[in-house]
Structure 1
């Protein structure tokens, strides 16, 4: 027994060393155009991480330290898979300089030659012409993080990256702590949290490439935990903070209905309806309060214009939408994204409302499953699904029996084949392979009667 334990410790330390080396190479050597190297490291990291989870499954501290070490490896690395962080830094510095980032375009400042922030030209070149020609759509709590980076490292891009990364690492620690508590409260194995904390996709996309889904996920997880404990007022406020980081948690609000009023098979509680209404108002009130310093007619116009563009102009890593687009070309002969971009969100809303009414969502496990299925349906119909979007379904899945989001976090690397082409052209066969993998795992989850009964 003692010899076996020593063998497991040695294996764990070797795996941590190998993984650290992989992340160092990924962080400081790999470019997104190096797809063969990229996918080789990606798949190797998943295989080694899974082996680490198995070998150190009885040592919580070792896994925590490993997760922190892998994140620290990236601490001074400039993100290599995404340019968005340049816009984050731009917005934060503009706000710190006293300018509302929602009211002006980076390209306008560059054209005028009178930018009020340091390194403006470098930031504009880094974010790219497409990003610089659109108004920012990052909500206020995200903007607060950008301001913190501007305040602490206002003249250094590397310094700003370090600050932003530190905030994301702190959020991941929060997810680890609250997620573990929620798992224990739901009588689930606490080690499930490492499917998030040690997931190479999370480490590379969030910590490595500075996507603030981590902070949003922390607030979502915390809100669900508070609601599970009966603290629904605080849960509403915290969920509002999540929306103030990224708007996506607004989709969850209808799913919370049965948690307050009971199942569709029972008499609806009037007091439950009042509580649900108050919960929604607490959430929306928190969001409104965060937007209050920026509110103006021009802000609303710019913000909604950017959101419309997101649904009706941009395309990346879509699934069902690409099939609809292909049918559109066959029938009318052109890209029907403007029409589809108006109809698909409406279909998603109808599905979520239907899901909220006919599916049992009265327990916390059922509620989380409803959120997972609703959000996944939204992504399946979306015109744009950037890899880091999968982080939210992934964290929700660890509280359910559904594993397709874990498979998705592995397969999503196939979307990066778009960067192999100078004109940014996606390989639709590989996108099809990505979603085929996801759908096969989802079908296997649904095909098991026990899993189906547990969640419906």
Structure 2
């Protein structure tokens, strides 16, 4: 394993004025698309708008594929920062998750464990404000913009810490704005770090904009303020730690990412043979350490609404696992779990000869193909792995997820969307293998 940095290819040098004009045009289009989505205001229209926006961005990526290698890291950072701005101009449009984030942070800041009470508990009445709990509905009914106000929080402890830190610096009248700004800044930091990883592994930092400038990222982060952006940032730090041989730090970062959203822990099998103690065990220990104070305080309440959420979302086979729709409902969950275990075994067996970033990409992405969730922002951590591994065919998960989001009550249409994505990804992977192109990821992360 080598920790020597691989020098990135030199930036493209011909026709600088034409390159600049194309870059400016692409940035303007992205901002106009983002602004148009913000202006739609209606939920269903916003879903459709983002599906179209992702497809438009894909066409822009094809148009700019000769331009991106000319971008230096500082230019990438500026472009990424600029395209976040439209999302900050409006309250969250496609999700009300951020209201729960604000509330959970405020509860923990008040010295109450966020897993102990639901938002409508009388014990938390003194913490209510007219933005999260607008007046109305009388007769003792609590009116609130927080989703599932009767349920205990579902978010893991590192996410709760993130909410608390931001609640400490955001006045109540600002609502979700503090979260939105922090999420936008997290995307910029993530994009810069992706650029550094790409340089380290012999590629161009401009490709980092496939994450940082995509409307799916800018709207879900700067507007939706989804906590998944923090998990994405931590996974990029994990990747940087791996390729620079800081394996303990990689384990800590993976555990922290799991403490934001549990899904990143699916990557642990990749390190069971490579770094079983320094990365795999450390990640699990980090996650458990984050939970420990809450377990001591509230016991089993740390599970929150997770079991209810899994049932509500149809992970028992009723609504999820769209690619397994041909199976009877009772068989879908067991088959999905069997596939997941098989994929983890493959990752373990191949972990010593395959590139870490590539394995992380397909294992994380495959989890979405198996589960086929309809909330596209869950893909934010997956997409940073896609870009760092330069397996851009996996970006097909974006339109598939938004198509599923648009038709979240129609499993057959979800099957079509994810099925098309799977066919494109398999076809692209087959072409890469047939052409025997040397892996672009280098050997720095072996």
Q: Which of 121, 127, 137 lines up with 2:146 in the alignment?
A: 127
Q: Give the match for residue 386 of structure 1.
A: 375
Counterpart-to-counterpart distance in 2, 1:322 and 1:6: 47
Q: Is the 8 A contact 1:15 1:48 kept in 2?
A: yes
Counterpart-to-counterpart distance in 2, 1:2 and 1:251: 42
Q: Give the match for residue 93 of structure 1.
A: 106
Q: Give the match for residue 403 of structure 2.
A: 414
Q: Give the match for residue 74 of structure 1.
A: 87
Counterpart-to-counterpart distance in 1, 2:410 and 2:271: 38
**1:70 Cα deviation from its structure 2 partner:** 1.0
**1:354 Cα deviation from its structure 2 partner:** 1.3
Q: Which of 22, 29, 42 lines up with 1:18 in the alignment?
A: 29
1:267-416 matches, cutoff 5 A: 276-296=276-296, 298-299=298-299, 301-304=300-303, 306-315=305-314, 321-322=321-322, 324=324, 327-328=327-328, 336=330, 340-341=332-333, 343=334, 346-359=337-350, 361-362=351-352, 366-382=355-371, 384-400=373-389, 402-416=391-405
Coordinate RMSD, CA, aligned: 3.3
Q: Is the 8 A contact 2:374 2:402 kept in 1?
A: no
The Cα offsets for residues 108-149 of structure 1, whole Å up to 9 and x where unpaired, read as 34xx79342323424963233xx2232212122211221233
**1:38 Cα deviation from its structure 2 partner:** 4.9
Counterpart-to-counterpart distance in 1, 2:318 and 2:69: 36
The Cα offsets for residues 389-424 of structure 1, whole Å up to 9 and x where unpaired, read as 222222212233533321221332212324xxxxxx
Q: Any stretches of 5+ residues in structure 2 without a counterpart?
A: 1-11, 135-141, 440-446
Q: Give the match for residue 266 of structure 1.
A: none
Quickly say closer, same or farther: Cα 1:228–1:36, change in 2 above 3 A. closer
1:196-235 matches, cutoff 5 A: 196-235=211-250
Q: Give the match for residue 424 of structure 2.
A: 441
**1:445 Cα deviation from its structure 2 partner:** 2.6
Q: Give the match for residue 237 of structure 1.
A: 252
Counterpart-to-counterpart distance in 1, 2:61 and 2:318: 28
Q: Give the match for residue 147 of structure 1.
A: 164
SS of 1:73's partner is helix
Quickly say closer, same or farther: Cα 1:212–1:57, change in 2 above 3 A. same
**1:203 Cα deviation from its structure 2 partner:** 1.3
Counterpart-to-counterpart distance in 2, 1:216 and 1:325: 30
Aligned residue pairs total 417
Counterpart-to-counterpart distance in 2, 1:323 and 1:357: 24
Counterpart check, 1:178 vs 2:193: yes
Q: Is the 8 A contact 1:9 1:56 kept in 2?
A: no
TM-score (norm 1): 0.80
Structure having the larger proportion of residues in helix: 1
SS of 2:152's partner is coil
SS of 1:88's partner is helix
Which segment drifts farther, 385-394 or 39-48?
Answer: 39-48
